[in-house]
Structure 1
Amino acid sequence: MQQLILPVLLASFWTICTGLDWCYQSQFTCDNMCNTPDKWGETYSDCVGKSQSPINIVTRKTLKDERLTPFIFTNYREVFSDTITNIGYSIKVGIPTFSTISGGGLPTTYNALQFHMHWGNSEGPGSEHTINGERYPMELHIIHVKKDYDDLETALSDPEGVAVLGFLFETSNTANERYDPLISALPSITAIDSEAPLESISLAQLIPHEKNLTSFYRYKGSLTTPGCNEAVIWTVFKNTIPLSMDQLTAFSQVTIEDETPMVGNFRPVQPLNGRKVFQSGGAVILVSSALLLAAIATALGLSQPN
C-alpha cells in the first residue's frame, strides 16, 4: 500500500509546485519533478496519438497541392489592445478583434483567438517545427477556431476545429521595431499568471507582409501542449520573421517560479506516422505552365486568328 501512496503524493506535490502536471525538459529539476514531454502520454492519452505536432518538415518529401491558395486575412491590420500574460509555459496575448482567416485550403472561415510563442534560450534555438532538421530561434503560433465555435475547448471536439498559423523566426542584425510593444511588456510579467497591458498592436505587424505569405506547408496535427488534441490544421509559413539577438534574448529572460528562466519551451518533433505534408504552389505551377504553352504556341504561329 505504501508503494502506491508515495507516487500519488509526489504527483500531487509536483502539480502544486508547478501549477501544471506537465512541463518541458528545461523546467525539470530536483525541486520540480514535473512530467516532461516523454511522459505527457501517461496523463494525456492523446499525447501518444498517431497525428501529433510538431514535426520535422522534410521539404523534398512534401507534395505540391494546388488547393493551397493564398489566405484571405480579414481585420489582421486592425489595431487592438489586450493583456499579455505569463501562462507558465509561454506568454499569451488574447485577440479581441474579429480577425479571421479563410482560403489557404481551409474548409471554412476561422476566427483568431490568441497568439503565443515558443523559444529556446540565449544560446540555442527553440522553434517547435523544424525544416530539414533545422530548428529556428523561435516560433509564433496564432490560434484560430472555426467560425461556428466560441472557444478553443469546443473547437477541439471537431477534427478540423482549430487552425494554427506557425511563423518561424530568424536572427537579424537590426531590431524589428514592429515587435517593440510586445518585447517592452515582457519585464512586467516575470511571475506565473502575471499580466501587463498591451496596447496598439495588430496581427499584421507581427508577421510578414501578406504578399509574402503565399508559400507554406500544410498538414493535419495536434496541439503541441497537453492534452495534445488531434484537431488542428497546421500551416507553417516558409518566410521567416526577423528579430535581433537582443530581442530574441528578451524572451528567454521571462521567468517562472523562483525566478527560474522560462527557456526551452518547445516540444520535440513527433513521428509523421504516414501523414503527408503538403506545400502550396501547385496552382502557381499550373498557371505558369499554361502561360508557357500559350507563349510557345504564339511563337510557333499556332495561335488562333482573331
Structure 2
Amino acid sequence: MNNSDAGPWGELTGFGGATSHWCYQIQLKPSNYTCLGPDEWEGSCQNNRQSPVNIVTAKTQLDPNLGRFSFSGYDRKHQWVVENNGHTDMNTTMKSSISLFDLLPEEDSLRHYFRYLGSLTTPTCDEKVVWTVFQEPIQLHRDQILAFSQKLFYDQEQSVNMTDNVRPVQSLGQRQVFRSRAPGPLLSQPLPTLLAPALACLTVGFLR
C-alpha cells in the first residue's frame, strides 16, 4: 500500500487545492454520479504509463537479468489483525497464525513472472511502480470469492457490496513487458485479471 492511496469514494486533492471524490464504475449510479469514475480520475491517471495492463505473453521479451526472488521473512507466522480501511466498522483478528507464504503458490513456481513499468491503480495513479505479475495465478474456491463480495461493502450503511473494485485495463502504449529467465512454457492466454484474484485471496484469508 502507498500512503497516497485513498479508498473507494476517497477524497483526492488535485491542483489548486480543490478536493473531489473518486470511485469505481460500479459506484457511479448509487452515488447519483456525484463521484468521479475511472475515466475522470485526476492526478496522473490519464497519463500513458498506467496500470493494470493486459499482458499478452507471446509478445513479452525475455530479460536474462530477471532471476529468482529472495523472499525474506515471508515464512514467519503471525495472528494478523485486519482492518477495513475506514469504510466500515468490518475489524477482525485471524483465528490462526499464518505466514505470507501460506497465501502464495509453491516457491518454485514463483520463478516465472512478468515485469513492466506502471502506476498505482487508484488516484493519484502515480507512475512510480515496477509491477511484477507471476505467471501462476492464486486459485480461489467459489465460496471464498462469494465471501469477499458478500461481507465487504463500499458504504457504512452496507447498501453497496464491494464488487468490481478494480480499475479497467489501461493501454500498454510503447511499453515493453519483460519475462523472467526461468525456463517454462508461456501461458496460452493473456493475464488481464490475475492481480484481482491475488488481492481477493489475501482479503478472504483475513475474513476467516
CA shift in 2, pair 1:18/1:236, >3 Å = closer
Alignment of 1:183-262 (within 5 A): 192=88, 194-198=90-94, 200-253=97-150, 254-257=152-155, 258-259=157-158, 260-262=160-162
CA shift in 2, pair 1:220/1:193, >3 Å = farther
- 2:63 & 2:106 partners in 1: Cα distance? 22
The equivalent position to 2:75 in structure 1, one of 77, 81, 84, is 77
TM-score normalised by the chain length of structure 1 = 0.50
Alignment of 1:1-306 (within 5 A): 18-20=9-11, 21-32=21-32, 33-41=34-42, 44=43, 46-87=44-85, 192=88, 194-198=90-94, 200-253=97-150, 254-257=152-155, 258-259=157-158, 260-281=160-181, 284=183
What displacement does 1:58 show? Answer: 1.0
Q: Which runs of 5+ in 2 are unaligned?
A: 1-7, 12-20, 185-208
- Which amino acid in 1 is paired with 2:175? R
Higher relative contact order (CA 8 A, sep 6+): 2
Deviations 1:65-102 (A, max 9, x none): 111101011110101233222236xxxxxxxxxxxxxx
Give yes or no for contact 1:87–1:193 (8 Å, CA) kept in 2: no
- Which amino acid in 2 is paired with 1:256? Y
Partner secondary structure for residue 58 of structure 2:
helix
Give yes or no for contact 2:10–2:23 (8 Å, CA) kept in 1: no
CA shift in 2, pair 1:251/1:280, >3 Å = same
Q: Which runs of 5+ in 1 are unaligned?
A: 1-16, 89-190, 286-306
Alignment length, in residue pairs? 163
- 2:59 & 2:10 partners in 1: Cα distance? 40
CA shift in 2, pair 1:193/1:63, >3 Å = farther
* Structure with higher helix content: 1
- 2:114 & 2:9 partners in 1: Cα distance? 35
- 1:49 & 1:192 partners in 2: Cα distance? 32
- Which amino acid in 1 is paired with 2:38? P
Runs of 4+ in structure 1 deviating by more than 3 angstroms, as ranges, are 17-20
- 1:87 & 1:34 partners in 2: Cα distance? 19
CA shift in 2, pair 1:284/1:240, >3 Å = closer
Partner secondary structure for residue 220 of structure 1:
strand
CA shift in 2, pair 1:215/1:76, >3 Å = same
What displacement does 1:19 show? Answer: 4.7
What displacement does 1:50 show? Answer: 1.7
What displacement does 1:252 show? Answer: 0.8
- 2:30 & 2:74 partners in 1: Cα distance? 44
TM-score normalised by the chain length of structure 2 = 0.72
Partner secondary structure for residue 252 of structure 1:
helix
What displacement does 1:208 show? Answer: 0.4
- 1:193 & 1:61 partners in 2: Cα distance? 45
- What is the percentage of aligned positions where both structures have the same residue? 44
Deviations 1:106-126 (A, max 9, x none): xxxxxxxxxxxxxxxxxxxxx
What displacement does 1:201 show? Answer: 2.1
Q: Could you say which residue in structure 2 is the equivalent of 1:304?
A: none
Give yes or no for contact 1:218–1:235 (8 Å, CA) kept in 2: yes
